[in-house]
């Protein structure tokens, strides 16, 4: 037997017995070790690490980095304007909700009645000009996937009330009139009033389909289809490429789909 002290690069120090024998089980060998001391320090991760990179590590990573850079910096389209998120509606949230609504075609063979995207899921702006793959990754960094829901008009009305209480979310295919304090005054889907017993289709992401971000009515859908491999980011990239192939720029508009009605105009 030989007693040794072992210090790992993580700063953990172990002490115990190294038994040079094969007659003990791994659990029995492990029982001969105990934590004697734990040390830890904070390391500031900033640009200083880029000033003096590890040359050997950089050489190993270089061919992989070049391949990834080629993929991520590929220009796949052109944005007509800078698009950002914001309530009650915005260029970026309107666009992403529209992409979701149109993408329901892959499940329904036609677009959904409405598309919904939460503001919190949009993490950067879409700059005016060239659109690169990495720009889309920055806007949509999560692995959220398409979910197509079917729900009754009664739940649809509740959903619109929730969106009003949140002062707006990304929305396509519907029109809301709300008050400044988040009350719903009027809601239409595809230009028509919502009927309680009618079935409506909603294209959204799996995170929201579970009722997160306060959109609890979505979790009460009668039917839910979330096909494998259809991430929102992938759908958005496909949309940009399709528009580009058709000779079109990426556009969006503010059309009053969520309107805050002044108190003086409320009936």
Please say if the pLDDT value at position 19 is more than 70: no
Q: Whose CA is closest to 99, among 133, 146, 164?
A: 146
Q: Strands 174-178 and 258-260, how do they pair?
A: parallel
pLDDT at 31: 65
pLDDT at 48: 80
Q: Which residues contact 235 (CB under 8 A, 6 or more apart)?
A: 99, 100, 103, 146
Task: Please name the helix (run of DSSP H) or strand (run of DSSP E) that holds residue 146, with its range, or none.
Answer: strand 146-152
- Cβ 249 vs Cβ 179: under 8 Å: no
Q: How far apart are CA 262 and CA 155, in angstroms?
A: 27
- Cβ 173 vs Cβ 133: under 8 Å: no
For the segment 110-161, what is each residue's pLDDT rounded down to a tens digit? 999 999 999 999 999 999 999 999 999 999 999 999 999 999 999 999 999 9
For the segment 31-48, what is each residue's pLDDT rounded down to a tens digit? 677 888 898 999 888 888
Q: Which domains does the chain have, with CATH numbers?
A: 2-38 (no CATH), 72-260 (3.90.780.10)
Angle made by CA atoms 149, 153, 154, in degrees to the nearest 5: 110
Range 87-105 average pLDDT: 98
In the chain, what percentage of residues exceed pLDDT 70?
88
Strand partners for 17: 3
Q: Whose CA is closest to 213, among 91, 116, 141, 125?
A: 116
198 vs 8, more confident: 198
């Amino acid at each position: 037997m030989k007693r040794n002290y072992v210090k790992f690069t993580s700063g953990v120090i172990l002490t115990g017995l190294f038994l040079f024998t094969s007659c003990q089980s791994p659990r029995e060998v492990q029982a001969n070790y105990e934590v004697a001391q734990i040390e830890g320090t904070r390391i500031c991760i900033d640009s200083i690490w880029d000033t003096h990179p590890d040359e050997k590590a950089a050489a190993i990573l270089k061919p992989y980095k070049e391949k990834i850079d080629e993929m991520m910096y590929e220009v796949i389209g052109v944005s007509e304007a800078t698009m950002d998120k914001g309530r009650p509606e915005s260029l970026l949230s309107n666009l992403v909700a529209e992409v979701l609504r149109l993408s329901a075609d892959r499940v329904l063979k036609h677009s959904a009645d409405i598309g919904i995207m939460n503001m919190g899921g949009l993490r950067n702006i879409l700059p005016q000009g060239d659109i690169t793959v990495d720009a889309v990754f920055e806007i949509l960094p999560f692995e959220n996937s398409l979910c197509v829901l079917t729900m009754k008009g009664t739940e649809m009305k509740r959903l619109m009330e929730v969106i009003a209480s949140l002062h707006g979310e990304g929305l396509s295919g519907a029109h809301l009139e709300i008050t400044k304090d988040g009350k719903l005054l009027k809601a239409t889907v595809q230009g028509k009033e919502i009927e309680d017993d009618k079935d409506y289709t909603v294209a959204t992401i799996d995170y929201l389909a579970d009722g997160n971000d306060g959109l609890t009515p979505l979790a009460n859908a009668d039917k839910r289809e979330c096909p494998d491999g259809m991430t929102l980011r992938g759908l958005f990239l496909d949309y940009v490429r399709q528009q580009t192939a058709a000779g079109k720029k990426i556009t969006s508009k503010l059309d009053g789909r969520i309107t805050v009605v002044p108190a003086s105009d409320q009936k």
